[in-house]
Amino acid sequence: MNMTFRWFGRGNDTVQLEHVKQIPGVKGIVWGLHQKAVGEVWEKHEIESEVNYIRSFGFHADVVESVNIHESIKLGNAERSRYIENYKQTIRNLGGFGVKVICYNFMPIFDWTRSELFRALPDGSTSMFYEKEKVENRDPQELIETFSNYSDFTLPGWEPEKIGRIKELFAAYRELTEEDLWNNLAYFLYEILPVAEEAGIKMAIHPDDPPWSIFGLPRIITGKESLERLQKISDSPSNGITFCTGSLGSNSDNNIVELAADFAERSPFTHIRNIKIFENGDFIETSHLSSDGSLDIKGVVKVLSDSQYDGYVRPDHGRHIWGEKCRPGYGLYDRALGIMHLLGLWDAYQTVKQEGK
């Protein structure tokens, strides 16, 4: 298990790498060029500057999250060739600086979605919350108005440049079925996987979060069947998964321990976090401790330990604790606690294994 920490870049994150350095066991920084518009080529000098900065702290910069996919590729429209060529160039450029894994997702328009970013937990901390009723069962027209005004929803994973194009994007997706989206994903992968292989990079698709259709838009990377289907698209070693416990686990039909056993080998990158799922399907993000939420985090780490998982792992979101002001879910403190918990479990399982108990 190669422990990493996600960081959003100089001037774009409240967390300093000097402080990340003080968390035991962190080997690398998961990074991205967050100032780039989706679809643009990541230029060599931009990559070099970021990678050198990260390495100057003694961290590796092997994992990028995310190189986002332009909507034209997901829609499969006439513009896609240009954006696929740009994507290939970005892969080559990243490979040139020793990057090993690129995380990406294939969710139409929206990335991960929550209805509240700072919901109070009983212990006085806050964390991100998903209220089904607030996101689902809404009149599409009303939704479009809501997003046009960007009023009562904040979408931390969302590229703000989409706000102005929301009506047009919804219209473009009106006719797109799940099958179309699968076909467009396969087309994209056939194009880029040979380039990724040559660059020594594994592509790692992130599951949809939450893993079901929202706002009437198709979502396809949702659980066991879809991960199997993804693998069938290509057996290239570069066709990988970002195994995300919190995204897959928010559908309680997904047993994350079983899924980890089935897919860890094909997942060069793993995100670990816990959530508490309520009876009505709402969920809130909790600490990493298994007993704080609905997911068996220790079971997942056991699977990783049993298989001597050597992929990259990061604590995913954390709560906002001890008064920290930070990007939603991406503070220093709770993620540092998460790391210690995950490494503690790992050490214990490894010791038991070595002693044959």
Q: What letters, b where the CB count within 10 A reaches 16 and e where it falls short, cover 182-213? A: bebbeebbebbbebbbebebbbbbbbbbbbee
Active site residue 244: yes
Q: With contact defined as beta carbons under 8 Å apart, do 144 and 109 qualify? A: no
Residue 284: strand pairing partners:
129, 276
| Of positions 104, 170, 182, 309, contacts ligand DNO by CB under 6 A | 104
CA distance 100 to 28: 12
Residue 103 touches ligand DNO, criterion: CB under 6 A: yes
| Of positions 80, 206, 302, 320, contacts ligand DNO by CB under 6 A | 206
Q: How far is CA 105 from CA 135, 215, 260, 300, in A?
A: 20, 17, 19, 22
Active site residue 317: yes
Give the type of residue at 319. Answer: R
- Please say which residue, 8 or 349, places its beta carbon nearer to ligand DNO: 8
Q: Does residue 315 have a cis bond before it (omega within 30 degrees)?
A: no
- Please say which residue, 95 or 329, places its beta carbon nearer to ligand DNO: 329
Active-site pick, 62, 104, 173, 206: 206
Residue 130 touches ligand DNO, criterion: CB under 6 A: no
3-state secondary structure (DSSP) of residue 102: strand
| Cα angle value 44/50/51 (rounded, 5°) | 85
Active site residue 312: no
Longest dimension (CA), the chain: 61
Q: Which range binds ligand DNO by CB under 6 A, 79-87, 98-106, 138-146, 292-300?
A: 98-106
- Please say which residue, 147 or 269, places its beta carbon nearer to ligand DNO: 269
Residue 312 touches ligand DNO, criterion: CB under 6 A: no
| Residues between 5 and 64 with contacts to ligand DNO, criterion CB under 6 A | none
- Please say which residue, 103 or 303, places its beta carbon nearer to ligand DNO: 103
Active-site pick, 208, 209, 282, 316: 316
Binding residue count for ligand DNO, defined by CB under 6 A: 12
Residues annotated catalytic, as ranges = 206, 244, 271, 316-317, 330
Binding site for ligand DNO (CB under 6 A): 65-66, 103-105, 111-112, 157, 206, 271, 317, 329
